[in-house]
């Protein structure tokens, strides 16, 4: 077996998968010393609590094992109570109190919450939603970051903060704004946004004829004469279907515009702090109008927010209390892979208040999420929030301490436990230890594209198609095989991974197909799935055979595809195993030399081919043209690709992950039964036991 394993490893290096960028690398070493593993902290809003409680609260946070405190978010009205008059006394005092306790400070730019004097003086900065309603004071993130006037005010407050704290050694890092998305009401349709969209189009297309061509405006007489005639597409203003190419461009624009706003704030802060303090924002993780990759080069660490339990279903009967291992892990593997370092800026400490139903998490679930974050390489986890609020929009939201301000909640106790456990693990860890060979041999990447996903969602062709679920099926298949996974984008080098999966990669060009081909010829194992390569980057079909650019690569033609209306289900046979499907199935025609992996066992095309594989150069290409119910076919076929490549795989239940980090193995159990972790007899168990209960964790060292 050993020689097969070494052959499978081929030229793939065993060191860290995502290379650091130089400035980021230096600041990371200083801010996040590898020996610290993962640091834990909490959100605190001093402006909301009596000043005489500040010292007590800081001392109690420290006692609970917190290492940093997050402050100043949303505090613009306190930092600049009237235009141009700044008040930092309250923040200075809290930084001093934090430092006295040995707590590092994360500061925020308060820009999601403009003070009333600003919006009263400049109502033109207010955002306008899709229904044409101007948003008003009394909530948050109601201003347009495309407004030049708003940006002027933002620049002033960010400069003031940078000047005052940018060289302050007690300040560890910065979070910009808050979950930039207008909370699902994006994009903003204000005149400022419309103008910036038009300017972006002018820059992209140069002349209006090019835009008309690339949006297919010949259809339905949609031709424009000038860029200033174009508006952000708003389905609420259209009597019939929208133009998908225009929609795709507006999504690109909004993501770039938001990235530009974050860069605008980053550039200001950097003038003061350079890379001595880290800068990030707190991204929403599970896909939105904002693409975190676009600021990957700006931030020292990519951070995101995590709320696993808010009345959502998740997998299994306990999923609504445990959260989803697949969702958490996919997000972490994506955020970490953007620039090599990630942290969780918000993790719920217990019940939240904003779900339609807000259940209690399962006992131990908070610790489970913290340790799952640790296993995915997080540099820090911060909880939203330290104290339960007594008033305001987030009433009912749990904190580390309850409404009396001092008594730890159940979640608070779990944070304190993990803080102790991390201290214990720091003594046993081997920071930066290379991945063990058998584990490294399974290194895999999922190729992910926001643009492809927007385009799929703009025109699903079957309303039951779920792009996210499709991605998770492949990601889960890899985790079940025990693979370390990076979720990467096209800017990364594929050759670092023995296995690469591009699920439903709908938009592509010849350059990407050439890169895939040379990856495979060099020994890589590529898996492509249904809907890949059907369109060019504009979202046009090819004037050629269906998915023409990938046909040589996959060694098959795609005769047609089918989708089944509920409650119909089709079935697939793969090596004697039966799987159900309904959302999307392609019927393939293999070329000579291509091996059939799965066939349809019913419908009028029974016997038709659903999945194929073939050897190309030193590697293989596998094409899976169907989306199976529950991802069972994907799990089987992905596992087979690894096995055929001579790589030893695990067979873990979905929701039970085993990962390696800094010399430690970590198992986390999101399933609803006890699972035996694959702990070798010679290993030393540091936390938990071989049998890992529901919501349990085991950590061991070989
Ligand atoms: C987050 C948001 C926080 C807070 C939290 C409540 O999405 O960033 O500011 O509102 O939800 O759970």
Q: Is the pLDDT of residue 621 over 90?
A: yes
> Distance of alpha carbon 294 from its chain centroid, rounded?
13
From ligand 1's centre to the CA of 382, what distance in Å? Answer: 12
User: Rounded CA gap, 131 and 110, in Å?
Assistant: 27
Q: Supply the pTM of this predicted model.
A: 0.96
Judge contact between 261 and 155, C-beta under 8 A.
no
Which atom belonging to ligand 1 lies closest to the Cα atom of 353?
Answer: 12
Q: What is the 3-state secondary structure (H, E, C) of 579-612?
A: EEEEEEEEEEEECCCCEEEEEECCCCCCCCEEEE
Q: If you take atom 10 of ligand 1, which residue's CA is the nearest one?
A: 394
From ligand 1's centre to the CA of 135, what distance in Å? Answer: 19
Which atom belonging to ligand 1 lies closest to the Cα atom of 74?
Answer: 9
User: Rounded CA gap, 107 and 91, in Å?
Assistant: 10
Q: Provide the β-strand partners of residue 445.
A: 486, 500
List, chain by chain if needed, residues with CB within 6 Å of any ligand 1 atom.
178-179, 305, 307, 346, 352, 354, 384, 394, 397
At residue 13 the predicted structure's pLDDT band, cuts being 50, 70 and 90, is: very low
Longest dimension (CA), the chain: 79
Q: What are the tokens at 382?
A: 């911060």
From ligand 1's centre to the CA of 71, what distance in Å? Answer: 14
At residue 18 the predicted structure's pLDDT band, cuts being 50, 70 and 90, is: low
| 3-class state of residue 130 by DSSP | coil
From ligand 1's centre to the CA of 211, what distance in Å? Answer: 39
pLDDT in tens, 83-134: 999 999 999 999 999 999 999 999 999 999 999 999 999 999 999 999 999 9
Task: Break the chain into its structural domains and give their ranges.
Answer: 443-644, 666-701
Average pLDDT, the chain: 95
pLDDT of 20 reads 61
User: Rounded CA gap, 11 and 648, in Å?
Assistant: 18
C-alpha distances out from residue 359 to 351, 367, 434, 670, Å: 6, 17, 40, 17
User: Rounded CA gap, 84 and 673, in Å?
Assistant: 59
Judge contact between 658 and 684, C-beta under 8 A.
no
Torsion over CA: 409, 413, 414, 419 (sign):
positive
pLDDT in tens, 376-432: 999 999 999 999 999 999 999 999 999 999 999 999 999 999 999 999 999 999 999
Q: Provide the β-strand partners of residue 623.
A: 528, 612
User: Rounded CA gap, 357 and 375, in Å?
Assistant: 29
User: Rounded CA gap, 400 and 387, in Å?
Assistant: 6
From ligand 1's centre to the CA of 348, what distance in Å? Answer: 9
pLDDT of 17 reads 57
At residue 19 the predicted structure's pLDDT band, cuts being 50, 70 and 90, is: low
User: Rounded CA gap, 382 and 70, in Å?
Assistant: 8
Which atom belonging to ligand 1 lies closest to the Cα atom of 73?
Answer: 9
Task: Please identify, in words, the CATH class of the domain defined by 443-644.
Answer: alpha beta
Of 310, 344, 354, 389, the one to substitute when testing ligand 1's pocket (max ligand atoms within 8 A of C-beta) is 354
| 3-class state of residue 347 by DSSP | strand
From ligand 1's centre to the CA of 392, what distance in Å? Answer: 13
């Amino acid at each position: 077996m050993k020689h097969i394993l070494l052959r499978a490893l081929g030229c793939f290096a065993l060191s860290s998968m995502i290379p650091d960028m130089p400035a980021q690398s230096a600041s990371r070493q200083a801010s996040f010393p590898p020996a610290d593993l993962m640091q834990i902290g909490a959100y605190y809003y001093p402006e909301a609590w009596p000043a005489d409680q500040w010292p007590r609260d800081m001392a109690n946070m420290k006692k609970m094992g917190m290492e940093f405190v997050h402050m100043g978010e949303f505090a613009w009205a306190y930092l600049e109570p009237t235009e141009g008059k700044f008040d930092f006394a309250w923040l200075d005092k809290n930084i001093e109190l934090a430092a006295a306790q040995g707590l590092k400070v994360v500061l925020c730019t308060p820009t999601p919450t403009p003070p009333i004097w600003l919006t009263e003086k400049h109502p033109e900065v207010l955002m306008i939603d899709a229904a044409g309603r101007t948003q008003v004071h009394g909530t948050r993130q109601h201003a347009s970051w495309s407004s030049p006037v708003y940006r002027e005010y933002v620049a002033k407050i960010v400069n003031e903060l940078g000047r005052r704290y940018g060289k302050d050694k007690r300040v560890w890092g910065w979070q910009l704004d808050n979950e930039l998305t207008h909370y699902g009401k994006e994009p903003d349709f204000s005149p400022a946004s419309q103008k910036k969209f038009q300017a972006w189009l002018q820059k992209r297309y140069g002349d209006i004829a090019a835009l008309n061509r690339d949006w297919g405006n010949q259809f339905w007489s949609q031709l424009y004469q000038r860029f200033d005639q174009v508006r952000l597409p708003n389905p609420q203003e259209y009597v019939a279907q929208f133009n998908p190419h225009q929609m795709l461009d507006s999504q690109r624009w909004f993501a770039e515009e938001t990235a530009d706003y974050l860069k605008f704030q980053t550039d200001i802060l950097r003038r003061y702090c350079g890379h001595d303090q880290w800068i990030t924002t707190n991204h929403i993780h599970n896909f939105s109008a904002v693409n975190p990759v676009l600021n990957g080069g700006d931030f020292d660490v990519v951070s995101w927010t995590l709320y696993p339990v808010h009345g959502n279903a998740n997998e299994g009967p306990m999923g609504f209390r445990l959260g989803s291992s697949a969702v958490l892990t996919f997000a972490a593997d994506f955020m970490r892979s953007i620039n090599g370092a990630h942290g969780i800026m918000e993790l719920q400490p217990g019940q939240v208040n904003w779900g339609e139903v807000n259940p209690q998490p399962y006992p131990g679930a908070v610790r489970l999420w913290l340790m799952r974050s640790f296993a995915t390489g997080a540099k820090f986890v911060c909880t939203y929030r330290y104290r339960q609020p007594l008033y305001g929009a987030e009433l009912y939201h749990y904190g580390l301490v309850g409404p009396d301000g001092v008594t730890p909640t159940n979640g608070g106790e779990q944070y304190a436990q993990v803080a102790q456990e991390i201290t214990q693990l720091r003594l046993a860890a081997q920071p930066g230890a290379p991945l063990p060979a058998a584990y490294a041999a399974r290194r895999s990447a999922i190729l992910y594209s926001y643009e492809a996903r927007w385009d799929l969602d703009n025109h699903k062709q079957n309303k039951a198609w779920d792009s996210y679920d499709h991605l998770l099926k492949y990601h889960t298949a890899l985790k079940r095989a025990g693979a370390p996974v990076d979720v990467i984008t096209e800017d990364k080098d594929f050759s670092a991974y023995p296995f690469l999966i591009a699920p439903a990669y709908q938009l592509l060009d010849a350059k990407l197909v050439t890169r895939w081909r040379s990856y495979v010829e060099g020994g890589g194992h590529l898996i492509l799935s249904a809907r890949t390569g059907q369109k060019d980057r504009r979202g046009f079909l090819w004037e050629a055979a269906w998915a023409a650019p990938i046909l040589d690569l996959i060694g098959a033609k795609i005769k047609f595809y089918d989708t089944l209306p509920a409650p119909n289900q089709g079935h697939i046979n793969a090596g004697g195993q039966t799987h159900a499907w309904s959302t999307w199935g392609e019927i393939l025609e293999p070329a000579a030399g291509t091996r059939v992996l799965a066939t349809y066992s019913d419908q009028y095309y029974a016997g038709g081919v659903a999945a194929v594989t073939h050897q190309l150069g030193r590697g293989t290409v596998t094409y899976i043209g169907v989306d199976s119910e529950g991802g069972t076919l994907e799990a089987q076929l992905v596992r087979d690709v690894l096995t055929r490549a001579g790589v030893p795989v695990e067979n873990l239940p979905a929701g039970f992950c085993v990962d390696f980090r800094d010399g430690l193995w970590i198992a986390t159990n999101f399933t609803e039964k006890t699972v035996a972790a694959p702990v070798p007899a010679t290993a030393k168990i540091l936390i938990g036991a071989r049998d890992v209960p529901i919501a349990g964790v085991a950590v061991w060292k070989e």
